[in-house]
């Protein structure tokens, strides 16, 4: 099988986006290998600078993929680029022409216009290519919508309608698609990163280890730098209050755990902001985690925590999926749809609804009751999460015509 995994990356500072990609490859490899079916994965947005074959270790598996480009000619700039790199364009064209399936992960939450039209256009280009080359499209489990712009909403609705398989990763996305297209078949699942393998990191058992993920994007006010996501909290002040509370507890080691890590200054660089905070407080019980080279390393570290909070959703998924009591700090409905609705997990800090005091109180209460949270999570691990893994594998097998 020739399978295109679009809007998937293996090279990105956003470890959550990489987690989605490698978790998808891990699940597909498991399905195809069991049936003895050979395959080639093509990743048009892998992040690799040079096209060609690469491999990645996921758990105990070495999975190969081919990094390629996308045969787009939407504007004059792209057309000129294709003329200048004609051989590359033809190679990418042939890959799409010979593809059996396209499975699109949408970077998890980018099939929406909350991040702006430019990002949506890039995500949606893969939908257009599936139609141009008549390739069956599977919309993998992801957040779908919202769409505030009428033009984008119309295009997105048409793209969903033409997809062969549509999977939502939360109840709100499922309901949203049903409002747009009442007769379209869609199924609710959960985020595929729940199934990414990991190995728990061990820490000094004399202390309670608390993890905090600080989102640089929220710290900087979003891409627009003016509270782009409409938070009802003062995020910087809230983070400082959380840090100061845990540093008053002598038996706690507080770990700053970035989940978007880049080697240079950037509005999205969690590591940059976390380092500045670490330097500011300079406290013996405040720890800055290592610079993670991949999402599995980040998950390994988070798995060693006794309690966790974060605004990067995949950092909180890493916690939940490894049994760590967690308070997700929501800045969009993707959190509410997954944790509150799909997982029936009420320990959610809603930063678009609550104020600083309410969220700090929720965190303090959740920390005190962390054993009860852990029990809730373990129940969901053995029920909802395991059931969804079987459902996703069955749905993917059906999409790939293996049933």
For 382-392, what is each residue's pLDDT tens digit? 999 999 999 99
Q: Give residue 89's pLDDT.
A: 87
Are the C-beta atoms of 27 and 392 separated by less than 8 Å? Answer: yes
Confidence bin at 263 (pLDDT 50/70/90): confident
Mean pLDDT along residues 307-314 = 96
Element (H, E) at 350: strand 349-350
- CB burial of 22-56 (b: ≥16 within 10 Å; e: otherwise) equals bbbbbbbbebbeeeeeebbbbbbbbebeebeebeb
Residue 236 predicted with pLDDT over 80: yes
Query: Which candidate, 145, 184, 152, places its Cα nearest to that of 166?
Result: 184
CATH fold, domain 208-368, is: Rossmann fold (3.40.50)
Mean pLDDT along residues 368-378 = 97
Confidence bin at 74 (pLDDT 50/70/90): low
For 136-178, what is each residue's pLDDT tens digit? 999 999 999 999 999 999 999 999 999 999 999 988 899 999 9
CA distances (Å), origin 185, targets 144, 154, 163, 244, 352? 14, 18, 10, 49, 31
Q: Give residue 88's pLDDT.
A: 86
β-strand pairing of 61-67 with 52-58: antiparallel
Q: Measure the CA–CA gap between 335 and 349, rounded to whole angstroms.
A: 9
Domain 2-195+384-399: CATH architecture, name and number where available: 3-Layer(aba) Sandwich (3.40)
Query: What is the DSSP track for 278-324?
Result: HHHH--TTEEEPP--SSHHHHHHHHHT-SEEEESSHHHHHHHHHTT-
Quote the Cα angle for 336-222-337, to 5°.
10
Residue 97 predicted with pLDDT over 90: yes
What are the extents of the domains in the chain?
2-195+384-399, 208-368
**One fold for both 2-195+384-399 and 208-368?**
yes
Query: Poorest-confidence range of 125-134, 174-183, 204-213, 330-339?
Result: 330-339
Residue 287 predicted with pLDDT over 70: yes
């Amino acid at each position: 099988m020739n399978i295109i995994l679009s809007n998937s990356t293996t090279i990105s500072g956003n470890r959550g986006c990489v987690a989605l990609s490698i978790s998808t490859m891990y699940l597909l490899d498991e399905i195809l290998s069991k049936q003895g079916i050979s395959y080639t994965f093509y990743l048009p947005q892998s992040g690799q600078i040079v096209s060609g074959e690469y491999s990645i270790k996921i758990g105990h598996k070495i999975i190969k993929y081919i990094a390629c480009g996308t045969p787009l000619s939407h504007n004059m700039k792209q057309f000129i680029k294709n003329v200048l790199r004609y051989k590359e364009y033809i190679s990418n064209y042939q890959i799409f022409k010979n593809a059996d399936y396209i499975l699109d992960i949408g970077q998890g939450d980018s099939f929406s216009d909350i991040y702006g039209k430019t990002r949506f256009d890039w995500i949606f280009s893969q939908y257009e290519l599936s139609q141009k080359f008549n390739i069956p499209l599977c919309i993998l489990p992801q957040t779908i919508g919202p769409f505030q712009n009428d033009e984008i909403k119309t295009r997105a609705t048409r793209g969903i309608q033409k997809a062969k398989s549509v999977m939502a990763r939360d109840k709100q996305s499922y309901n949203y698609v049903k409002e747009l297209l009442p007769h379209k078949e869609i199924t609710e699942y959960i985020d595929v990163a729940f199934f990414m393998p990991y190995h728990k990191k061990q820490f000094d058992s004399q202390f309670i280890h608390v993890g905090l993920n600080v989102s640089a994007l929220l710290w900087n006010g979003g891409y627009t730098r003016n509270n782009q996501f409409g938070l009802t909290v003062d995020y910087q002040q809230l983070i400082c209050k959380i840090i100061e509370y845990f540093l008053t507890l002598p038996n706690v080691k507080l770990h700053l755990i970035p989940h978007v890590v880049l080697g240079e200054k950037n509005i999205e660089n969690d590591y940059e902001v976390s380092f500045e905070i670490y330097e500011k407080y300079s406290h013996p019980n405040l720890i800055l985690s290592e610079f993670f080279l991949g999402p599995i390393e980040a998950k390994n570290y988070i798995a060693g925590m006794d309690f966790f909070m974060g605004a990067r959703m995949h950092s909180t998924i890493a916690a939940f999926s490894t049994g760590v009591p967690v308070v997700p700090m929501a800045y969009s409905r993707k959190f509410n749809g997954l944790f509150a609705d799909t997982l029936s997990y009420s320990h959610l800090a809603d930063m678009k609804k609550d104020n600083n005091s309410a969220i700090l109180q929720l965190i303090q209460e959740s920390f005190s009751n962390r054993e009860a949270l852990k029990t809730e999570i373990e129940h969901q691990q053995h029920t909802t999460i395991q059931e969804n893994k079987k459902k996703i594998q069955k749905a993917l097998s059906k999409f790939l015509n293996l049933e």
